[in-house]
Amino acid sequence: MFHWLEKRPFFFAVGVFLVIAFAGLIEILPNFAEAARPVEGLRPYTVLELAGKEIYKKDNCIACHSQLIRPFKAETDRYGQYSLSGEYAYDRPFLWGSKRTGPDLHRVGNYRTTEWHENHMLNPPAVVPGSIMPAYKHMFTNKADIETAYAEAVTVKNVFNTPYGDDIQPGKEAFEKHFKSVVLPEAQKIAADMKNQDVKDAVAKGEIPEIVAMIAYLNSLGDSRYAAKK
C-alpha cells in the first residue's frame, strides 16, 4: 500500500489533504448548531451599535483589548461574570482578541459611562494616569458609516435569520426611514450626555460622528442587551 502511494503524487496529495482535513471535520462541525444558540433574552445589536462595532474593527481595538472573561476568580472580580458562549451569538466576526495590553471589555458597558468614554478617547492618560493607549481624536471628526452598518443588519437578518424587526429591509428608502426614526434618536440620546460641542452640532444636523457610534457600541457590551437585566 505504501509502495503504491509513494509512486503516485496525486494520491499522495489526497492523503495529505485527508489527514489535515480530518481534525477540522471532527473538531469543529458537530458543535456548530449548538454554539450558535443565543442566551435567553439577548437582543441583536442596533444599527448604531453595529456602526460602532465597525469602528472598533476599523481601529483594530482587538490588538490590545479582549472580550473574553475567563472563569477565574481574579477575572470575575475584575471584569464581572465570566463569558458564556451564547452571549456571542450575534458577533460576526467574534472579537475575543488574543492580547490584553489594555483591560477586557466584554462587560465594559456595566461600569463605564458615556461621559467616561468621551474623556478617555480624547486623552487616555488624563483619565487613567500612566495609560499607554493612544488618543483617538479622529473619532470626534470622522463620520460613522451608518449605511454600511445598516447593510450588515439587513444581511444578517436575511441570510442568518438574526431576529431584527420588520423595519430592517433592503433598499435606500427603508434605510432612510430607519435612520430617521431609530438611529438618529439613539445617537441624540448619547450626544445629550456628551459635552463636545462639535459632536452635538453634528448630531443636531443629522450627522453621526464615529465617537457616538463607538460609545453606543461600548455601552452595549454588558447587561444592556438583555431584556430582563436592563
Work out whether 84 is an interface residue with another protein (CB under 8 A). Answer: yes
Which residue lies nearer to another protein by CB, 17 or 192? Answer: 17
What minimum distance in Å lies between the beta carbon of 220 and another protein? 15
What minimum distance in Å lies between the beta carbon of 143 and another protein? 13
Work out whether 148 is an interface residue with another protein (CB under 8 A). Answer: yes
Contact 68, 100 (CB under 8 A): no
Which residue lies nearer to another protein by CB, 98 or 197? Answer: 98
What minimum distance in Å lies between the beta carbon of 90 and another protein? 6
| Residues whose CB falls within 8 Å of the CB of residue 222, separated by 6 or more in sequence, listed in order | 80, 106, 107, 108, 109, 110, 111
Taking phi first (over 0 means left), then psi (-120 to 50 degrees means alpha), and beta for anything else, what does residue 143 get? beta
What minimum distance in Å lies between the beta carbon of 217 and another protein? 13
Work out whether 181 is an interface residue with another protein (CB under 8 A). Answer: no
Which residue is it, cell 472580550? 67
Which residue stretch of 95-103, 108-116, 192-200, 216-224 sits at the interface with another protein (rule: CB under 8 A)?
A: 95-103
Counting beta carbons within 10 angstroms of the beta carbon of residue 121, is it exposed (0 to 12), middle (13 to 18) or buried (19 or more)?
buried
- Sign of the four-CA dihedral 212, 142, 185, 159: negative
Which residue stretch of 111-119, 144-152, 201-209, 215-223 sits at the interface with another protein (rule: CB under 8 A)?
A: 144-152
One-letter amino acid of 175: F
One-letter amino acid of 115: E
What are the grid coordinates assigned to 136, written together? 483617538
DSSP-based three-state secondary structure for 70: coil
How many residues lie near another protein (CB under 8 A)?
A: 93
Which residue stretch of 151-159, 182-190, 212-220, 222-230 sits at the interface with another protein (rule: CB under 8 A)?
A: 151-159
Q: Buried b / exposed e across 81-108, counting CB within 10 Å, b at 16+?
A: eebeeebbbbeeeebebeeeebebbbbb
Work out whether 220 is an interface residue with another protein (CB under 8 A). Answer: no
- Residues 106-135, one symbol each (x = binds another protein by CB under 8 A, - = not), give -------------------x--xxxxxxxx
Ranges within 13-72 binding another protein (CB under 8 A)? 13, 16-17, 19-24, 26-28, 30-32, 35-36, 54, 57-64, 66, 68, 70-72
Work out whether 228 is an interface residue with another protein (CB under 8 A). Answer: no
